[in-house]
Amino acid sequence: MMAMRLQLSRWGALTSLGDTEAGFARLCEGASGLVPAMGAEIAWLSAAEGVERVGPVAPVRFAIEAPRGVGLADAALGGAIFDPEGLAVIVATTAGAMVEGEPVVGEYVRGEPLSTPRAFFWDARLHNVADALAEKLGATGPAFAVSTACTSGTVAVGIAADLLRAGRARRVLVVGSDALCRSTLFGFRSLGIYAPERCRPFDVARQGMNIGEAAAWVLVERLDAGAGPGAIELLGVGVATDAQHLTAPDPAGKGLGRAIRAALGPVDPHEVDHVNAHGTGTQPNDAAEATLLPGLLPNALVSATKGATGHTLGAAGVVELVLLIQCLRTGVVPPVVGLTQPIHGVAVSSVLRRHVQRVGVSTNLAFGGHNAAVAIRRLE
Amino acid sequence: MIPGVPPAMRVGVTGASLWDAGGGDSGRGSDEAPGSNGAGLSLIAAREPERPERFPPGTWRKMSRLARLVARAAEPLVHGPADALIVGVSGGEFASSVAFLRSYYLRGAALASPLAFQNSVHNAPAAHLSIDLGLTGWSETLLAGEATFWRTLERGMSRVLASGAPVIVVIAEELSPEVRDGMKAADVQGTWLEGAAAFRLEPLGTAVGLSWWDRPQRGAGAAEIRAAATEGDAAGAERGGAAIRVHGGPFREAARLFGLIAAGYGTLDSPPHLPQPAWLEVC
């Protein structure tokens, strides 16, 4: 039996570069939202614009008025309206509504009275973001969070596909959202992989990653029989683990290769025109992708956007999927911001390239040797 | 079953595993804290998880309590590297998150603990399973608060139907001191159980079948139930009125399903305070 065909019918993003269209235009110009950070510990980061415009979201759900993790997602949605019947909401995040909880955790570990007791644990649980959005949208389908570190957004799209094919939802809103917080900024710094400069994906002299904050969303639905040219078909999502190391990828990218093949399904890898790679700017991640991609997807140009947006962690999969959709629709491959001397053999460039694209792949690697890939096709 | 109505989903169950308090011998004790209105919060801890042989002692020591609970329940059900893994936890790696922030706040940013940060990643329990048991297939961690049991099981069944391959579903809850303090700080009242249950789900054709029916909404729609639950919880607690009430937590429902599977038959109804009501049947 042929699997139900699916499409990404609507999408949006809010990053440090701006909203969906303005942000993509700035990306194509080679702009970066990464800015020098205050303080000596963290050198560069990127904050999403526009969140301050947002009013309270689900004000009775949280002890504080508007957690940034929720406000960021709400701002990215920008007032979009969806048919709520059978609408499932999946939020991909690593920190959720934790940002405001961190100072309260500080009070707890110092033995001080808690200024906002519910923010210590109860309100900080990740599913609250999904429930708050589902409540606001009137969604009648399931709502939950998925957290697989930096692959969360791509995994969430795969879950959406399964829920639709199993008849558990009529449409699924997948939201990736992660706000800047101490846990992630100083956590990655503790691992020694936070770059002292603006990150440089796929550059031979790369020194690590920078964190950015962002939110993005896609609506996943059944592909209508009458879907016309320009529609974006979701070909598939693949997830695979290296089963080797907690914080380092397989050097040859074997798990990622399995994920990409699973995402493509019956589509020939030679048909892939563009890969929006994970490209964190860390030595092992970029090396693994650089080893894998030229052989597996020989006809694909490669882009990487974290030099412009920063690594948006749980949101990255959805942010980068939205950027890939825009690339397929406009026929451009954005420059890799920060690139000066590419790793040999990888089809990256520091300048914008015009390239007709029909099939695109976006990849993510994560903590735990977790790999995920999503493949899409622009209908002609 | 509901006469004349086919189940929304149906899969087979080829294994189940449980790690719980073990008849009251929790190993960590239980406690009961009075709430603001005189009602209590009863927290029932699980036994200390024993290390499966396939996990090296050094790794086991570094794993969080939540990760050890997940590993203890799931390990007997892992047959091969392609088994998919779906872990559901209501609060994630909260204790490890606090451990990292403790190192950050008390020792300073320069000495923040990388091990605590690794363990604070909510997918860490699944990652340990994949590394130490050689799982290379689909893997994810899902969080849905009190609805975690139902959403994780629904998700696992949908994965079996979409992929036609085995899926190990794990529902786990931890009651570290930090979680206990967090629940008390939020004035949560009721009962909450610690433990982990795992189920090996496969396409139909097995001895025990698991069916999922969607129940009609009980009067109000999902959005209204969700909003009403919120009103009753957060707003009430803020006003000093009705506190947040819990009903055993996701692990209690997972343990009930384990019992039905062990018996080979029975039904389980979702509690009325959750949106998207459903009904499970084991037969």
Alpha carbons within 13 angstroms on the beta-carbon side of residue A154 total 38
Sequence-separated (6 or more) residues with CB below 8 Å from residue A249: A242, A255, A256, A284, A285, A288, A365, A369, A371
Lookup: tokens for A4:
């139900």
Residue A311 appears among annotated catalytic residues = yes
All structural domains of chain A with their residue ranges? 6-222, 232-378
- Residues A165, B105: C-beta atoms closer than 8 Å: no
Give Cα separations from B67 to A29, B119, B206 (angstroms). 45, 9, 29
pLDDT tens-digit series, residues A235-270: 999 999 999 888 889 999 999 999 999 999 999 999
Q: How far is A4 from chain B (nearest CA, A)?
A: 10
Nearest CA in chain A to B109: A186
Which of A4, A45, A60, A82 best probes binding to B when mutated, by most B CB atoms within 10 angstroms?
A60
Asked if A108 has any chain B CB less than 8 Å from its own CB, the reply is: yes
Asked if A93 has any chain B CB less than 8 Å from its own CB, the reply is: no
Cα(A358)–Cα(A356) distance, integer angstroms: 7
Look-up: residue for tokens 């508007």? A66
Cα(A338)–Cα(B248) distance, integer angstroms: 52
pLDDT tens-digit series, residues B174-213: 999 999 999 999 999 999 999 999 999 999 887 799 999 9
Q: Specify which residues B195 forms β-bridges with.
A: B173
**Could you tell me if A264 and A350 are in contact, meaning their C-beta atoms sit under 8 angstroms apart?**
no
| Percent of chain B whose predicted confidence (pLDDT) is above 90 | 74
Whether the per-residue pLDDT at A279 is higher than 70: the answer is yes
Pair type for strands A214-222 and A171-178: antiparallel
In this prediction, residue A90 has a pLDDT band, given cuts at 50, 70 and 90, of very high
Nearest CA in chain A to B146: A127
Lookup: tokens for A245:
């190391």
Q: Which of residues 14-53 of A touch B (CB under 8 A)?
A: 41
Lookup: tokens for B277:
């009501």
- Residues B161, A165: C-beta atoms closer than 8 Å: yes
Give Cα separations from B37 to B34, B237, B240, B261, B280 (angstroms). 8, 11, 9, 38, 35
**Could you tell me if A92 and A156 are in contact, meaning their C-beta atoms sit under 8 angstroms apart?**
yes
Lookup: tokens for B70:
């997940």
pLDDT tens-digit series, residues A361-376: 999 999 999 999 999 9
Helices B65-74, B94-107: crossing angle, 10 deg rounding: 160
Q: How far is A305 from chain B (nearest CA, A)?
A: 23
Cβ–Cβ pairs < 8 A, chains A and B: 247
Amino acid letter, A35 = V
Among A199, A311, A327, A370, the one annotated catalytic: A311
Nearest CA in chain A to B96: A183
**Mean pLDDT across chain B, nearest whole number?**
87
In this prediction, residue A1 has a pLDDT band, given cuts at 50, 70 and 90, of low
Lookup: tokens for A322:
């939205």
CATH 3.40.50.1820 for the B9-282 domain, yes or no? no
CATH class name, domain A6-222: alpha beta
pLDDT at residue B273 in the model: 77
Asked if B159 has any chain A CB less than 8 Å from its own CB, the reply is: yes
CATH number of A232-378: 3.40.47.10
> What are the φ and ψ backbone dihedral angles of A177, each rounded to 5 degrees?
-150, 125
Cα(A75)–Cα(A52) distance, integer angstroms: 9
Nearest CA in chain A to B236: A60
Among A181, A278, A327, A370, the one annotated catalytic: A278
Amino acid letter, B156 = G
Amino acid letter, A89 = V
Give Cα separations from A216 to A10, A49, A153 (angstroms). 11, 13, 9
DSSP A247-284: SS--TT-HHHHHHHHHHHTTS-GGG--EEE----S-HH
**Could you tell me if B154 and B169 are in contact, meaning their C-beta atoms sit under 8 angstroms apart?**
no
**Could you tell me if A286 and A206 are in contact, meaning their C-beta atoms sit under 8 angstroms apart?**
yes
Whether the per-residue pLDDT at B228 is higher than 70: the answer is no
Nearest 5 degrees, angle CA A20-CA A26-CA A29? 145
> What are the φ and ψ backbone dihedral angles of B254, each rounded to 5 degrees?
-65, -40
Closest CA to A54 of A63, A45, A67: A67
In this prediction, residue B218 has a pLDDT band, given cuts at 50, 70 and 90, of low
In this prediction, residue A68 has a pLDDT band, given cuts at 50, 70 and 90, of confident
Closest CA to A24 of A268, A345, A319, A296: A319
Lookup: tokens for A230:
């320009």
- Residues B137, A368: C-beta atoms closer than 8 Å: no
In this prediction, residue A67 has a pLDDT band, given cuts at 50, 70 and 90, of confident
ipTM of the complex model:
0.94
Residue A150 appears among annotated catalytic residues = yes
Among A150, A181, A199, A327, the one annotated catalytic: A150
Q: A317-344 burial, b if ≥16 CB within 10 A, otherwise e?
A: bbbbbbbbbbbbeeebbbbbbbbeebbe
pLDDT at residue A36 in the model: 81
Which of B123, B147, B183 is nearest residue A121 as measured by Cβ atoms?
Answer: B183
pLDDT at residue B244 in the model: 84
Pair type for strands B84-89 and B139-143: parallel
Whether the per-residue pLDDT at A65 is higher than 70: the answer is no
In this prediction, residue A70 has a pLDDT band, given cuts at 50, 70 and 90, of confident
Q: Do domains A6-222 and A232-378 have the same CATH topology?
A: yes
